[in-house]
Structure 1
Amino acid sequence: MRIMQWAVAGRAAAKHTWVAGLLAATAFVDPRPVVVSGHLDHPLAPQVQVQYNENLLTQEPATLLTAKLDAQGNFRLVLPNLPGPMEVTFRNGDQSTRLFLSPGDDLRLSLDAAKFDETLHYTGTGSAANNYLAQATLRFTTARPDHPQRKIGTATPAQIVAAADAYRQEQRAFFAEHVANHPVPPIFRAYVRQNADFERASTLLYYGGFHASRPELNTGAIPADFYDFLAPLRPAQDSALALGSRTYLGLLQPLADARLPGPEAQPTQASLLASAQATFGNGRSRDLALAHYVYRLFNFQSPEQVAPKIAIFQHLNRDSSMARAVRARYRRALAVSPGQPAPTFTLLDNTGKKVSLSEFKGKVVYLDFWGTWCHPCLNEIPASHELAKKFEGRDVVFVYIDVDDKEEQWQQTLAAKYQLGPGSVHLRSPDNAVPNAYNVQSFPTYWVIGRDGRIVSTRAPRPSSGAETVALLEQTLGK
């Protein structure tokens, strides 16, 4: 068995070395511009945007191009400096989709923005790759009842591996069927294959962490070789960053959380570097993992507690953009420390009514940042119901702010899973302004705000923490 595992890892490494070679071949600056043009029916906003070259830590775009729609709903955008083949984001209003573009592409899209994902269609250079992405987005969604992540709470280790393998095989078969009739560039083949591997790894990594913290689920011990799926992925990590893969970014963050020291640890410069290199190698993924490690500590510790680890990070860091992001996060954390006024906001609730935080002055607010795409968030819903019942009729308001969801998906989830009542307020943040004001970097995140509108806790316990959460709310009510 061990020999077989090494053979598999060797084949995977060879594949990813080939991918690195493809990227190296395109590493020179290709002067050819990319043109994205098209037509929108029922647009959600009078302009469209394409963003890329994001800061890998904050996801803020370094390049954001905007084109106004003409009277017929047509637009044309020229991307003059795409550094190479990569994933970019196309946006109209609060709807978005990913594109895969290469220098020289002349891509034309058409869609009815009222049915954004369902009507996307592409023609022109690059259309074969992007039509596949449009179709895959509809077919391979976490909303599917049979998605492996929906089995996290009940499956045994063997069952979750089988479910993740079957899902990846379906993805591979669907892609093979598409490219048989619509040839795509080799680099896009590599991108799709890597993303399927990363998605599988994310499911298994989440499963392992979820069950390690919940032995009462009694689904069986995690086998010693359960995490062997990680080693074959390592050669692909830096090439995935170069391709702008959001699927890989979605894996890197929880992987860094699992493999780097916990919030209470006091690593030395040498031990932190060794931990990062063991999982992420010595390339750009290592730099991003170290930056994420420090960045995420603000979710658990005060700025004063994080400061010594920032000093270690500064000695190890090789990316100035990540250093700037960490310093900015430190300043924001100071601004929303306990005792500071909670940032104000006004958002629409699930009935379309404007709701402001100031309306709850004189009451305790338990603030929950979540999303329908966030399985840990959804797993907290039953405990949220129980917590709200305990404080029914008292001066506690449970405010749920949904982030990064389309309204239809949000409303459907509320109707299916939440018990809507007078003590609960359901809001949707159409952009990142409110979560950014609260320095939210992970989901779910919980805050407690006192009767005076000042922050009591920036890291409140989850509803499932039971007595600990109740005690904090009781204590805040008594002030």
Structure 2
Amino acid sequence: MKYWISLLGAALAVAPSLVCAQKNALKAVPAVISGEFTGVPDSTTVAIFEPLPGVPLSYFFADGPNEAAVRGGRFSYRLRHAETGFVRYSGKYVPRNLSFVEPGARITFALKPGAGNAPPTVVFGGANAAGNNLLEQGKLLNGGPPDGSRIRAALAGAPTATAGLAALEAEAATPKALLMAALREHQISQRCYDVLTAEVEQRVLFWAGQALEFHFQNPAKANLHLQMPDAEARQLIQALCARYAPTLPRYRYSALGNLGIVAGLRAQGVLPGPAPTARTWAGHAPKFEQVFGDFGRFDYLPAPAQAKAVGDLMLTALAFRTMSPVDFAKVAADYQQLFPASPYAPLMAKALPKEPTALTKAGQNQTFGTLAVGAHALAFAPGLDTVRTLAGLVRQQFAGRPVFVDFWASWCGPCIAEFRYEPGLHEFASKNGIEVLYISVDKAGFREKWAALAAKNTLRGAHYLASEAVQESLKSAVPYLPTYMIFDKNGQLVEASAYHPSDGEKLYQQLRERLGLR
């Protein structure tokens, strides 16, 4: 998403070579992001997902290390690429929304404690702080479901396509006015204004397109209550997709996957377009079920749009390891053949393992292991994973011993935040003959990350990467993460919702009571 940079004609006329030199120098310098966290423990990790060359933003994929640790209440991270676009943060004490970056910028943010029981807030400083604070505060149609509800109400109340388009433009007018005021006060750059204004327009398409796509799929379930007839609704979505087409140059940095909406509307026949001559992506749809439920719709997009939309989802699949390397290599080969010049292709090639790892050898169990005192990696027991239920695992592996079970996942920030309280838990468990079992509900493709995090956080005890069968059996028993359970020495569940390790003595007293300890 991007408007081309607006430069003053006079400046170009007076010193074109100087302006070009300054632009090139600026582009060569990556942005720096730093944060101030009052009262946040050291070693708290901040993950940063930055725009990559030719790729606007992958919400989950990072081309290399992208973490910074808090030290002395501060952290600093230098982006590895000098790119314009959006940055996403992941962590307990970081911005909830995206922030805008441009080459050479220095961006700061500070965690501000909330008044009373109010949660803490994040306030941006540095370059384009006004724009990033609008993003953080959800004032650019990025505030979540309430914005979607307003867009739906604007659609429902319009009697014609023309009136609907005007109502949607009115919804975009307020955030655009906020950005214009910031530009006039020299609080944001022209580039920041262009990119954030374009993002507002893509938010309009996102909320409205999502509602209308669902309406055309199933009017009863969509519950949109349109005043306009369907013929007018079709005219409206066609006009909206033409005006805010995600493939337009000014939207090249958009962080939204609106091409999926366009593809769905074309597949339904709501938007005009030829039928696909090949169903490449429909053939790969089963492999992408965990990433996108209707992957075959992308066959209906023109080739350039396919390259971007499918590329985005392939990076997501890589990040979450939702398929085997062999399956992913097959999809990547088709992608490379269709789009050899795509900037996504080298990212996929770099991320794919060059040869099968020992972890995939037949007959080798790599899902149940232990981390011993002083060890730096999990040690795995021989044999295949035959466990089908949690109770079966406890009885099979810990006969005659009580067990404290910690359910977690590599993507669960609150789970990982609890790990810093593990030393106290382990001391209590060791003194009282209690085993500690960590059960991860990650997908199988996250096996390496699961094992690495267990070692990194020194989680001494037993570890199990739950199979699909066990995860299915846990759906009702573990509704959220983290969850903690206590089993007695007979393998009987005596506490289904135990206190957290951070609760300290409350947990230890609960263990004494449930297990009959003195």
Identify the TM-score tier after normalising by the shorter chain.
0.5 to 0.7
Change (3 A) 1:211 1:41: same
Aligned to 1:411: none
Q: In the alignment, which residue of structure 2 is the partner of 1:165?
A: 169
Q: Give the match's secondary structure for 2:81.
A: coil
Please state whether the residue corresponding to 2:40 is helix, strand or coil.
coil
Structure 1 residue 30: Cα displacement: 2.8
CA distance 1:295–1:99, change in 2 (3 Å): closer
Secondary structure, in 3 states, of the residue corresponding to 1:121?
Answer: strand
Supply the AA of the counterpart residue of 2:127.
T
Residues 310, 361 of structure 1: CA spacing in aligned structure 2 closer, same or farther, 3 A cutoff?
A: farther
Cα distance, 1:90 vs structure 2 = 3.5
2-side partners of 1:253 and 1:100: how far apart? Answer: 23
Q: What is the rounded CA distance, in whole Å, between the counterparts of 1:312 and 1:157 in structure 2? A: 45
TM-score, normalised via structure 2 length: 0.49
The answer on whether the counterparts of 2:2 and 2:250 sit within 8 Å (CA) in structure 1 is no
Aligned-partner residue type, residue 185 of structure 1? S
2:251 corresponding residue in structure 1: 240
Q: Which runs of 5+ in 1 are unaligned?
A: 1-15, 336-340, 345-355, 363-400, 408-430, 439-448, 457-479
Alignment map for 1:333-412 (pairs within 5 Å):
358-359=389-390
Instruction: Indicate conservation of the 8 Å contact 1:106/1:124, yes or no.
Output: yes
Once the two structures are superposed, the pairs formed by residues 56-455 of structure 1 within 5 Å of their partners are 59-71=60-72, 73-79=73-79, 81-93=80-92, 95-96=94-95, 97-112=97-112, 119-137=121-139, 140-144=142-146, 147-148=149-150, 151=153, 158=160, 161=165, 163-216=167-220, 219=225, 220-222=229-231, 223-225=233-235, 226-234=237-245, 237-241=248-252, 243=253, 245-246=254-255, 248=256, 250-259=257-266, 267=278, 282=304, 285-291=305-311, 313-318=335-340, 319=342, 320-321=345-346, 324=349, 358-359=389-390, 433-434=442-443, 453=470
- Aligned partners of 1:198 and 1:164: how far apart in 2? 12
> Which residue of structure 2 lines up, in the alignment, with residue 19 of structure 1?
4
* Distance in 2 between residues matched to 1:327 and 1:288, nearest whole Å: 19
Q: Which residue of 1 aligns with 2:400?
A: none
What CA distance in whole angstroms lies between the structure 1 residues aligned with 2:120 and 2:327?
Answer: 48
Which residue is 1:460 aligned to? Answer: none
Q: CA deviation at 1:197?
A: 0.9
Q: CA deviation at 1:437?
A: 5.5
Gaps of 5+ in 2: 8-18, 270-274, 284-296, 318-322, 369-386, 394-408, 416-439, 448-465, 474-518
Inter-partner Cα distance in structure 1 for 2:299 and 2:89:
34
Counterparts of 1:183 and 1:267, CA distance in 2: 49
Over 3 Å counting, the alpha-carbon distance change for 1:323 and 1:161 in structure 2 is: same
State the AA in 2 paired with 1:221. D
Question: Match of 1:38, SS?
Answer: strand
Partner of 2:31: 34
**Cα distance change on mapping 1:256 and 1:75 into 2, 3 Å:** same
Q: Could you tell me how far 1:137 is from its partner in structure 2? A: 5.0
> Greater strand percent: which structure?
1
Q: In 2, distance between residues paired with 1:152 and 1:360? A: 52
Aligned match of 2:382: none
Q: Which amino acid aligns with 1:231?
A: A
What is the percentage of aligned positions where both structures have the same residue? 15
- Closer, same or farther: CA 133–149 of 1 in aligned 2, 3 Å: same
Q: How many residues of Structure 1 are paired with residues of Structure 2 in the alignment? A: 344
Q: For residue 4 of structure 1, what is the aligned residue in structure 2?
A: none
**Secondary structure of the corresponding residue to residue 19 of structure 1:** coil
Q: Residue 120 of structure 1: SS of its match in structure 2?
A: strand
Is the partner of 1:60 in helix, strand or coil? coil
Kindly tell me: are residues 433 and 453 of structure 1, through their superposed partners in 2, closer, same or farther at Cα, counting changes over 3 Å?
Answer: closer
CA offsets, 1:319-359, max 9 Å, x none? Answer: 3246549989xx9xxx9xxxxx9x99xxxxxxxxxxx9944
SS in 1 for 2:4: helix
Which amino acid in the other structure matches residue 259 of structure 1?
R
8 Å contact from structure 1 (residues 160, 204) kept in 2 = no
Q: Take 1:183 and 1:171, find their aligned partners in 2: how far apart are those partners? A: 15
Deviation of the 1:201 alpha carbon: 0.8
Distance 1:451 1:308 in 2: 24
Task: Name 1:370's counterpart in structure 2.
Answer: none
1:432 and 1:131 mapped to 2: Cα distance? 35
Alpha carbons of structure 1 residues 140 and 39: separation in structure 2 relative to 1, 3 Å: same
The structural deviation recorded for 1:88 is 1.3
Q: Secondary structure at the match of 1:183?
A: coil
On the 8 A contact 2:213/2:264 being kept in 1, the answer is no
Larger Rg: 2
Normalising to structure 1: TM-score of the pair? Answer: 0.52
Residue identity opposite 1:77 in structure 2? Y
